[in-house]
Amino acid sequence: VPAAADSAEVAETLAGVLDTDVASLTERLEEERHFVYLARQVDHEVGEQVEELGLPGIGVLVEPERLYPAGPLAGQVVGFTDIDAQGLQGLLARYDGVLAGEAGTLLLERAPGGLDIASGVRELSPPEPGTDVVLTIDRDIQHVAELAAADAMERYSAIGASIVVTEVGTGDVLAM
């Protein structure tokens, strides 16, 4: 993070790129912490603009993003995550521990100047990927069920509607 004297100047430069006010950026830059987020989930182009500025102490992190291949289809079943990709609702919350996996770690010894000590301790624990969860939801049937629910809500001025479609022989949920 830049020195306090430079904080206002850096904030002035970043405010337009990050579409935020100078005062709040200056406040964040002057926090007594080793690391602060100035903005999150910004467009890739914004990150490139920030990098091109070459401001001291300012960097860009690429964060993983959860993709929803079917968009909002079955969203009430799949659920959603927070900004840190932690499941908050639906299957994403229920199976968050299974889906997330575990981060890896690297433990190493450094000299006071920050250089790695070649003969020092160096332990790597590789990350463990999460597991897939396979649903029995059928996209086409789910789409038709969602249209039918929306139609029923409109027709009867209902606040909500529920539809569950199961396969009789197996009990598989084809739409919900």
Strands (E), the chain: 80-81, 87-89, 105-108, 122-125, 165-166, 173-175
Summarised one tens digit per residue, pLDDT across range 86-144 is 899 999 999 998 998 888 998 988 888 778 888 888 899 999 999 999 999 999 999 99
The model scores a pTM over 0.85:
no
Q: Please name the residues in contact with 137: beta carbons below 8 A apart, sequence gap of 6 or more.
A: 74, 77, 173, 174, 175, 176
Residue 67 has pLDDT above 70, yes or no: yes
Summarised one tens digit per residue, pLDDT across range 147-167 is 999 999 999 999 999 999 999
